[in-house]
Amino acid sequence: MFKATIQTELEHAKTATRRDTDAVRAECDKLRTELKYEVDKIQAALRLDLSLEKGRIRDELLNQNQKAVQTEIRLDKEAASLRTTLEANKNDIIRFCVGALASTAAVALGVLRLVM
């Protein structure tokens, strides 16, 4: 009778242990599923954030490129304007030098004629 009682208690303990083990496994599976869901949700949010950031950076890069092109065009225009102004001033100086030399030569010839 004692042996039967121990075996009965042992069977009850095994059953309780299995039930507890099954409950723990079910809880683990539930937690694993919840964790996977949370990880997937975070990954999706991160992908979205990365996509938005990538698009924002792309837009900013395009704006910077447009500004650089506009600045380059403006600098080219200013350089061309400076070249034109420099060329015009050079032509004016040459014209005045030729005029000064011609008038000096005329005065010199006038003085030479008077002297002779």
Q: How many CB atoms lie within 10 A of CB 65?
A: 10
pLDDT, tens digit, 9 for 90 and up, residues 33-84: 999 999 999 999 999 999 999 999 999 999 999 999 999 999 999 999 999 9
How open is the CA angle 22-25-28, to the nearest 5 degrees? 155
What is the 3-class SS of 46-105, one letter each residue? HHHHHHHHHHHHHHHHHHHHHHHHHHHHHHHHHHHHHHHHHHHHHHHHHHHHHHHHHHHH
Judge if pTM exceeds 0.75. Answer: no
Rounded Cα distance, 91 and 78, in Å: 20
